[in-house]
A = this chain, B = another copy of it.
Amino acid sequence: MTERVVPPAARRRRRPTKQGVVLSEELIVATALRLIEEHGADALSVRRLGRALGADPSSLYRYFRHTDDLMLAIADELIGRTLRTWNPTGDWRADLRELGLRMHAGALAHPRAAVLSSYRVTGRVHEIEAVEAILGVLRGAGFPDAEAVRIYHAFVDQTLAFGALDSASTALPGPARAAEASVWRATYARLPAGTHPNIAATARHLVADMPRSSYPAALELLLEAAEARLTACQRRPVAE
């Protein structure tokens, strides 16, 4: 088969579909995001997307080689949107905290897309910008290269992983979600101290803490550990 997809730069003939829509990579991604948000992750299929766009499903294969390509484009768009609203101040810890919380919030704002795209490495422009920026913050703070990459990796994966996890629970169908929320009060808080001493002793804290996301706390722990390593590095510098 001859290559079906034409690189965006080479596209010139903007021929409308039967229903009068002029397709483009941007329009397709935007429509996909809208579909996901409005009707759930399951609503995203090539056929439904085609219908929503007013085009034949097979037309999309002129823009994306397969559905996976489309997912990567969606993921990159999400990264771009988040990055655009972030302006670092120079304080590495504050900057990373801010970016982490922003990415997490961004994921929660598009739960279904976040779940689908969190685990992809896109290699696209927005992602590259993000990598460059975060590495810049860490190296600027004085982390040696190897350590900077290690912290970067843990930071990014932690943020994406929690984003997907928390998105997944907010995306649960209504009743199931309510049931989950009450388990801590209804089940755990009632366990007798005799059989479950540790749960019983901390029940109050569990009920208060567990229904909320632990991402902020986990992020803080990561930043604390990173700072400790930084001072350790600076006290006794390592050869790279």
A residues neighboring B (CB under 8 Å): 68, 118-123, 128, 131-132, 135-136, 139, 145-146, 148-151, 153-154, 156-158, 160-162, 164-166, 168-169, 172-173, 176, 180, 183-184, 186-188, 191, 196-199, 201-202, 205-206, 209-210, 213-215, 217-218, 221-222, 224-226, 228-229
Contact = CB atoms under 8 A, between A and B. Distances in A.
A161 B229 CA distance: 24
B228 A218 contact: no
Contacts of A135: 198-199, 202
For this chain, the copies found in one complex come to: 2
B123 A187 contact: yes
A180 B217 contact: no
Say whether chain A's binding surface is mostly helix, strand, loop, or mixed: helix
Contact of A188 (B68, B128, B210, B222): B128
A160 B188 CA distance: 19
A131 B199 contact: yes
A202 B121 contact: no
Contact of A132 (B128, B153, B198, B205): B198
Given A149-B209, A161-B158, A161-B161, A169 B128 contact: no
Given A131-B188, A136-B198, A165-B161, A221 B154 contact: yes
A184 B218 contact: no
Contact of A139 (B119, B149, B201): B201
Nearest to A182: B123
